[in-house]
Amino acid sequence: MPSGRFQPGSDAPTIAAVSADYGRFYEPRDPVLAAFARTWPTNEANEAWLSLPRFWLARYPVTNAQYAAFLAADGYNVDAAWWDAAGRAWLLRDDSALDVRPNRRRAQKCAPAFWDDVRMGRQRANHPVVGINYYEASAFAAWLTQQLGDGHRYRLPSEVEWEYAARGTTRRTYPWSDGEPTDDRANFGDTYGATTPVGCFPGGATPDGITDLAGNVWEWTRSVFRPYPYDPVQEALPLPADTLIVVRGGSWHSRAARLRAATRNRNNPDMYFNDLGFRLAADLSDT
């Protein structure tokens, strides 16, 4: 991705339209949730511009086959250099004693949470890996940096890098254009009931050829969730478990409105879901 000026987020008319859409969708089933859902798009409000240096962004999310290489390299070794202090604390934490939501507790910490799921786990080599929390995604990136030794630092993208790649300088509504999501552009709305192989929706690619930025899996960023305007301090590390981290892109389970490239969602770094994965970014070397 080349360097450039970019305005993330949404303007007031867009936020009002999306908020009304969320309300109409949830009102018949749960008026309380509908009222809450109407507030979701307000976190996109932004008028500030920012400048981004050039960077690499992976064409596809990290797959089960790629993550299997991390496992084969003793990836969950707590003494390995690719785990930072917060990641080691999570590995050593006794989750059975925690009084937190189930999707923050793990019975075992030696593989992704859905690794044996026949619909989306290791048997599906070219599907995006899911059941991965922020600590695991960050450790994979640090491991790959060490493994390849090619002069690049592999990492999670910031949320503005992710959005810049998805929208371009023209601020597309979706990665492909302003046209609404369709079944040949993205995996969403439970159409396929699970993840799908990366790259099998070329109609949903960006003009730069980046695929799966809308649907299939939500993707971890390295940015702490805070109100706009964006500040690089949102990328501070390491991150305790009560922090909220931005995730982007919508998933196979999401409705169409959640696939908009400006949509901001967030999770605690120890959370995992069967529709949450990650893709890598890298700083662009001059060599």
For 148-169, the pLDDT digits (tens) are 999 999 999 999 999 999 999 9
The pair of structure tokens assigned to 165 is: 């790649």
Q: What is the pLDDT of residues 116-159, one digit of tens each?
A: 999 999 999 999 999 999 999 999 999 999 999 999 999 999 99
Q: Which helix (H) or strand (E) holds 87?
A: helix 85-92
* Position 287 pLDDT exceeds 50: no
Mean pLDDT of 76-105: 93
Indicate whether 241 pLDDT > 90: no
Q: Which percentage of the chain shows pLDDT scores above 70?
A: 98
- What would the mean pLDDT of 241-269 be, rounded to a whole number? 95
Please tell me the predicted confidence (pLDDT) of residue 239.
76
The strand pairing partners of 111, in sequence order, are none
Q: Is the confidence at residue 216, as pLDDT, over 50? A: yes
Question: With bands split at pLDDT 50, 70 and 90, how would you rate the model's confidence at 283?
Answer: confident
pLDDT 10s digits, 45-77: 999 999 999 999 999 999 999 999 999 999 999
Has residue 284 got a pLDDT over 90?
no
**Domain 52-283 sits in which CATH superfamily?**
paralog of FGE (formylglycine-generating enzyme) (3.90.1580.10)
- Write down the pLDDT at residue 285: 57
Q: Where are the domains of the chain?
A: 52-283
Q: Is the pLDDT of residue 286 over 70?
A: no
What gap in Å lies between CA 166 and CA 160, rounded to an integer? Answer: 10
* C-alpha to C-alpha distance for 275 and 128, rounded to whole angstroms: 9
Question: Is residue 171 scored above 80 in pLDDT?
Answer: yes
Tokens matching residue 252? 């196979």
Nearest in space to 111 (alpha carbons), one of 84, 139, 86, 149? 139
Q: Tell me what pLDDT residue 46 has.
A: 96
What is the token pair recorded at 26?
């949830």
| % of residues, the chain, pLDDT over 90 | 90
pLDDT for residue 240 is more than 80: no
Angle formed by the axes of helices 134-148 and 85-92, nearest 10°:
120
Task: Give the pLDDT mean for 199-213.
Answer: 96
Question: What are the strands, taking DSSP E only, across the chain?
Answer: 4-6, 50-52, 55-57, 154-155, 218-224, 245-248, 265-267, 276-277, 281-283
Asked if 215 and 187 count as a contact pair (C-beta separation under 8 A), the reply is: yes
Distance CA 85, CA 96 (A): 21
